[in-house]
A and B are shown apart, each in its own frame.
Chain A
Amino acid sequence: MTAVAAGMNRIDPYLIPALDGVAYGLLVFVAASGLVFCFGVANILNLAHGLLYAIGGYTAAALLDGGWASLALALAVGVLAAAAVGVLLAGLLTPVAAGNHLSQALLTFGVALAGGSLLVAGFGPDNPQVQVPAALEGSVMVAGHRYAAYRLVFIVVAAVLAAALYLVVRRTRAGMLVRAAVDDPEMVACLGVSPAWIRAGVLAAAGALAGAAGVLGAPIIGPGTGTADTVLLLSLVVVVLGGLGSMAGTLLAALAIGEIQTLGVALLPSAAPFLLFAAMAAVLAVRARGLTGRWRAA
């Protein structure tokens, strides 16, 4: 009994950071999956992806008032607004030759810069407070620890979202087209599906996912001037680590990043700044050829 208790005591302090890591990882997964589609299907490096998340976050800060209705409204507005910006990006990118990555990167960065500036002009330079629904404001007991109820619910919701995403990509016609477009965009064009529509659809879907992540994740990675950069960085690292076309790889990478950001900081505070970098370097150094082998030589 005492040995078990001692063992529990050793694990105990890290239980909450580990749980936080799951919440963080799932949030990063939902945000990053949009970037994976965008890059995999439309072959676009969307540097405005973090902006799409920030739009969701600011929407949550502006609309949430503690009730469930406001959460539903914020989710609808945030998803639609971010999807609309995604479509706008697709329109802006139309004149840019396909495969011209430098131009795509510069154009999407320009949109990110201008959009970020508009958000700060609209919502002020301070990081706004986000009010979660009153019913989720308290904490629940998890294995003898108090844990924020919202985060626990978020883990469930994000897991459901991840599962739904997997099913859509795996089982539906839209998902099949998306996967086919990753492997062979010209063949998909031959099937009579306009690449322009695929691009607009993919950017809208990526926007919707990032917008949803922004609204739901606002209490975890809140809206602020640095949010867009943070989310873009985390999504990029997930895409680089997880490889392309593999939802499982993306999920695994996102969860690993979540744990590194929370459990890693709790376990090794002095090494914390380097953990993300070291993890990326380690994975890529071991699997560089394997990972890039799956990537199209763009």
Chain B
Amino acid sequence: MRGEVIRRARGGIAALVLVGLVVAPWVVDDYTTAILARTLALALVGVSVALLTGVAGMPTLGQTAPYAAGAYACAVIGSRVSDVGVVQLAVAAAAGALLAALTVPLVVHARGVIVLMITLAIGELVVVVLGRWRSVTGGTDGLAGIPAVRPFWGLPALASDQARYLYALVVVATLVGAVLVLLRTRAGLVLRAGRDDETRLRASGHRVAVHLSGAHIAAGAIAGAAGSLLVVAQQYISPADFGFDTSALLLLGVVIGGTASIGGALVGAALVIAVRDWLFGVLPGHAPLVLGALFVATVYLLPTGVNRARGRVRPSGAPDHQPDPPAIQEQATVGELRR
């Protein structure tokens, strides 16, 4: 009963937020609309971080790597080949997936804090490469003057901030919907089962490394697509967009949102990015100090961190301690896998 109420309330809140997001560009000014569009792109990267950190149990500090690969691929395609949005999205997602696939051997055999270290190193190295590979990336100056995108062949180019924002919103909503659907399939359930009890999953004949590789590549594709949205929103990119602080902020947002929840990741990442951008406006020069203090405070306010999300998923003794339906559903799947 309680689970049903929570689910309905959640659905209602999600619907309200969606309506708010759709009407937002007519309520706020163009500048804020442009910032909102960029925040949407970053929130989508947050979704890919949550997919790896919370769902697959691979905490990552390097999702800026496929994000950057997607953004730069989109920028190069956008200025030299095609201004069609679906083409750019496909290329960006492919670039993100390709980079993720290349780094699979580095990531999938490691666990826990080692994944954090390796992904962080990969993300930082990608930024180094972006800064030095001048002929393609424009070096630290970045790439500017990327033409406005047209969503589909024959449609007009998106000339206003509102139009670009709505394009980003449609893409993010579609991709997040796809992720939510995918997580309900067997693949998503196996991922979660592996996070909770890898030995048991392995014993039941599942190849954990294959599932983790798939999750890593899928998360890379999502981050790559988000990179293309950043290009649409800013029409300018530079290595500074993909620094290690962005990775850490996204991880913080995902932790705030409750690592295993995709909706939570969206809200958390958007919230953290919004706070950062707002702080940089009101406290020029001192924003990192306040932001750093906020990080420390958040860790104390959320002392259980990832365990909070895990506790929700782990099967516990008494049935009335199961807080909501997804937990029961997942438990059933773990049981099913045991057979």
Contact = CB atoms under 8 A, between A and B. Distances in A.
B299 to A, nearest CB: 4
A289 B109 contact: yes
A272 B132 contact: yes
B259 interface: yes
B128 interface: yes
Interface string B76-115: 0000000000000000000000000011011001111110
Contacts of A33: none
B110 A292 contact: yes
Given A100-B305, A284-B106, A240 B288 contact: no
A1 B255 CA distance: 68
A1 to B, nearest CB: 41
A86 to B, nearest CB: 16
B81 to A, nearest CB: 24
B114 A102 contact: no
A281 interface: yes
A182 B293 CA distance: 31
B113 A45 contact: yes
Given A233-B121, A277-B125, A285-B105, A101 B112 contact: yes
A248 interface: no
Contacts of B286: 117, 121
B299 A96 contact: yes
Contacts of A13: none
Contacts of A111: 292, 296
Contacts of B105: 281, 284-285, 288
Contacts of B117: 39, 45, 236, 239-240
Contacts of A47: 120, 248
Q: Which of B118, B285, B291 has the most CB of A within 10 A?
A: B118
Could you say which interface size class chain A belongs to? 35 or more
B23 to A, nearest CB: 34
Nearest to B114: A295
Contact of B248 (A95, A104, A105): A105
B303 interface: yes
B225 interface: no
A22 interface: no
B255 A107 contact: no
A20 B169 CA distance: 51
B158 interface: no
Contacts of A284: 105-106, 118
A229 interface: yes
B320 to A, nearest CB: 27
Interface string B166-197: 00000000000000000000000000000000
A112 B299 contact: no
A229 B106 contact: no
Interface in B117-174: 117-118, 120-122, 124-126, 128-129, 131-133
Contacts of A276: 125, 128
B313 to A, nearest CB: 16
A272 to B, nearest CB: 7
B59 A240 contact: no
Interface in A192-250: 229, 232-233, 236-237, 239-240
Contacts of B63: none
Nearest to B288: A117
Given A297-B111, A298-B114, A236 B289 contact: no
A292 B114 contact: yes
A113 B245 contact: yes
B121 A273 contact: no
Nearest to B111: A297
A262 interface: no
Contacts of B120: 47, 236
Interface in B250-268: 251-252, 255, 259
A277 B255 contact: no
Nearest to B121: A236
A68 B30 CA distance: 59
Nearest to B254: A102
Given A229-B244, A276-B128, A103 B299 contact: yes
Leading 6 A-B pairs by shortest Cβ distance:
A110-B295, A114-B292, A113-B292, A298-B112, A273-B132, A117-B288
Given A45-B117, A106-B305, A272-B132, 18 more contacts: A39-B117, A96-B299, A97-B307, A101-B59, A103-B306, A106-B248, A106-B252, A107-B299, A113-B248, A117-B289, A233-B125, A236-B121, A240-B117, A273-B129, A280-B106, A280-B125, A284-B106, A297-B111
